[in-house]
Amino acid sequence: MASEGARAREVAWEEVKTRFFTELEGHFRREELGLFPVLRTAGEATLVQRTLSEHETLRALIAENRPENLVPFAELLAAHIRFEETELFETAQRLLGPDVLSELEQVLMDAEQPMHDSAEPNSGISS
């Protein structure tokens, strides 16, 4: 029984790692390269630093590559999402407005697209 639980945790951990690299890392980078400099300039350095610290902790948990990190990762990610939704993005909307945020997101997505496309496994580029 214990080995089934350990195997299930390993499978779940592999899924978390995959989703981290395919979904979260890009989101983090867009925030770090686009939103955070603007918020820092607007006087929100403390808010930016907290968010960066959480990004780095989540990255460190993934980098350790330990299935035992599944629960701490999930708990921190859930808290991080709540923080971003209730504080970070609320502050950004108040300071910048939804139109500026939407435009910033689009510019960052467009800038990231060529990098993302070339990293696809079936792109014909060998590593």
CA distance 7 to 13: 10
What pLDDT was estimated at residue 120?
A: 43
Statement: the pTM of the whole predicted model exceeds 0.95: no
CA distance 79 to 74: 9
- Within a domain: residue 41? yes
- Within a domain: residue 66? yes
- Within a domain: residue 50? yes
- How far out from the chain centre does Cα 9 lie? 22
- Within a domain: residue 113? no
- Within a domain: residue 121? no
Range of the domain at 93: 2-108
What pLDDT was estimated at residue 55?
A: 98
Record the tokens describing residue 18, joined without a space: 């995959």
- Using the predicted structure, report yes or no on whether residue 88 has a pLDDT greater than 80: yes
Long-range contacts at 118-123 (CB < 8 A, ≥ 24 apart): none
What three-state secondary structure class fits 18?
helix
- Within a domain: residue 42? yes
Question: What would the pLDDT profile of 35-77 be if each residue is shown by its tens digit?
Answer: 999 999 999 999 999 999 999 999 999 999 999 999 999 999 9
User: What is the number of structural domains in the chain?
Assistant: 1
- Within a domain: residue 125? no
- Within a domain: residue 56? yes
